[in-house]
Amino acid sequence: MWARALFVFIISAVAVKSEHNPQEVLRANTDNAVEKCCSDLTQRWPTLVSFTDEGSHYYAVQQAEQQPRCRFTPLSSQHVSTVVGLLSQNSCRFAVRSGGHGLWAGMSNIDNGVVIDLTKMRGVEIKPEQNMVMLEPGSTWEEVYRALERWNITVGGGRVSSVGVGGFMMGGGISFLSYEQGFASDNVINYEIVLSDGTIVNANANSHPDLYWALKLGSTNYGIVTRFDMFTSPLSSKISAGVQVFDLSKDVQGLLLEKWFSYIDNLSSDTKEAAWVFLAPKSQQIGLVRANLESELLPYPSITPVTDTTQLLSLADFTKSIEAIAGLGKRTSWYTITILADLALMDDSFSLMQDASGTFEKSGAELYCTVQPISRGFIAASRDNPVHSVLAEQDGDLVLTIWGALWDDPAQDTLVGEALVKFGESVEGMARQRGLLNEFVYLNYAHEHQKVYERSISREKLARMVRIKEKYDKGDVFGRLWQGGYKLPKSSSDGGHRTEL
């Protein structure tokens, strides 16, 4: 819509009849605008602008392949404020990068646009007397945890070391502390944010409380957050954690899932243990990633792992070990589904996955899955989050699933992507048919085309989020120019429907 309006404006302004294709005229104008933005930024801050992607890191290869016109690396919120004003004034398309873990092309990178790269904004300021830490968005969670462990404290953050603070937090964030503290964003005291007009405001319970609430699932709709002030929690310098891998068989799968579902049942009384299951049919492996923040992990009886890295180590070191198995440097796609904690459904879903795995392997892709609990305690702790009412609809423990694919050949992108969506929809359909589907779509795991906001938030709360968006971004600058993330519906009236996939 905005592109068409901009084209009409251009044609009216020159008051001549163009003999060129309208899209070519628009593209040329966009190119000129971006060229001007990069030139202006270079003149003002020559040391903060680069024209190559050397040193840039992205989790998924599809992201790394994007070619921005220039990359601006601000050092402060004032820099961010100035660049937002410049980009808005010149109608330059842009993307924002924190840790670069977004999965789909354009999530935090952009072809022929400007990237605001926050990786030089890595401040971690600890306020021990206030049980608070102030985090800039370019820090990685490994850096945050290493800074905090000197004080024997931690914060609800990412579970893979290289994940950036900014993107993780704007998607809500699931952490090792979620089973007693809810989403990471539920533990934010204050957001420092740059709005679309360049204004820098602090959003908290007393100042801009409406914006403070919406930012718990803000994505790329409201502004660029330049600091997150968060509650800290005590944590010993070493935790019991590790990865256990088992040879995959029907018996082992059933026994492991049975033990894991017993763990979910106990999460209401033991919130310090976090464990999720992963399944990799191609390598014929099933496994557990486990951590206990308070006491020693006990082995699952009757199941002997092939490998077991369980040991006492720091939280930062554990996130580093998870990074090693996270599939970096591949073409990657995910599809996420939330279901009620039902052992039979999970077992059947795994069996369906193993049947489908061969189809993916013919395209050179590997299908895999991870499942993790969203316990009743987790849901209760998120009562002030926009997604709470949807999570609480069925009054029970939930299981959050990722159905993922890894591959190398770009020629297979469309085929693998479509196959993954088709498979995800088949699992979703099975859950819906059994009355076991929860509509929540976790933003940080979602496929590019999944309807995160329309499904995860109730009609009333979604309309409220849209009104807040209209209040703080009156010209829809971030909707028109900021590529990436997940966007709210365009108007309050659009928020009146819960959309099925």
Beta pairing class for 311-313 and 398-407: unpaired
Tokens of 16: 């001549």
Query: Per-residue pLDDT averaged across 70-99, rounded?
Result: 98
| Residue 182 belongs to some domain of the structure | no
| Residue 251 belongs to some domain of the structure | yes
Which pLDDT score is estimated for 269?
A: 81
CATH number of the domain at 388, please. Answer: 3.40.462.20
The DSSP code sequence of 276-295 is EEEEETTTTEEEEEEEESSS
| Residue 477 belongs to some domain of the structure | no
Query: Per-residue pLDDT averaged across 369-392, rounded?
Result: 97
Residue by residue, what is the 3-state secondary structure of 149-176?
HCCCEECCCCCCCCCEHHHHHHCCCCCC
Of the candidate ranges 81-95, 323-337, 376-390, the one whose mean pLDDT is the lowest: 323-337
Residue 68 and residue 110 in contact, taking contact as beta carbons nearer than 8 Å: yes
| Residue 343 belongs to some domain of the structure | yes
The DSSP code sequence of 261-272 is HHHHHHTTT-TT
The rounded distance, in Å, linking the Cα atoms of 481 and 494 is 20
Please name the residue that has the structure tokens 């660029």: 224
Tokens of 361: 């392997």
* Tally of domains within the chain: 2
The rounded distance, in Å, linking the Cα atoms of 165 and 471 is 26
- CA dist list (Å): 253 to 9, 247, 273, 286: 61, 9, 21, 7
Does 3 have pLDDT greater than 80? no
- H or E, element range at 111: none
| Residue 475 belongs to some domain of the structure | no
**Could you read off the pLDDT of 237-264 as tens digits, one per residue?**
999 999 999 999 999 999 999 999 999 9
> Final residue of a domain: which of 57, 88, 119?
119
> Final residue of a domain: which of 90, 119, 148?
119
- Bridge partners for 228 per DSSP: 135, 191
The rounded distance, in Å, linking the Cα atoms of 444 and 372 is 14
Does 328 have pLDDT greater than 90? no
DSSP state of 60: B
> Final residue of a domain: which of 85, 119, 153?
119
Query: Per-residue pLDDT averaged across 49-76, rounded?
Result: 89
Q: What's the pLDDT band for 301 if we cut at 50, 70, 90?
A: low
Length of the chain: 501
Which pLDDT score is estimated for 224?
A: 99
The rounded distance, in Å, linking the Cα atoms of 358 and 145 is 40
Could you tell me the residue range of the domain that residue 260 belongs to?
239-313+329-450
| Residue 51 belongs to some domain of the structure | yes
Do 106 and 243 fall into the same domain?
Answer: no
| Residue 323 belongs to some domain of the structure | no
Residue 114 and residue 222 in contact, taking contact as beta carbons nearer than 8 Å: no
| Residue 444 belongs to some domain of the structure | yes
Query: Per-residue pLDDT averaged across 94-123, rounded?
Result: 96
Q: What's the pLDDT band for 6 if we cut at 50, 70, 90?
A: very low
pTM of the model: 0.91
Average pLDDT along the chain: 91
Please name the residue that has the structure tokens 């590529």: 483
Please state the φ and ψ torsions of residue 440, each to the nearest 5 degrees: -60, 130
The DSSP code sequence of 402-461 is EEEEEE--GGGHHHHHHHHHHHHHHHHHHHHHTT-EE----GGG--TTS-HHHHHS-HHH
Do 267 and 398 fall into the same domain?
Answer: yes
CATH number of the domain at 29, please. Answer: 3.30.43.10
Residue 335 and residue 424 in contact, taking contact as beta carbons nearer than 8 Å: yes
Which amino acid is present at 60?
A
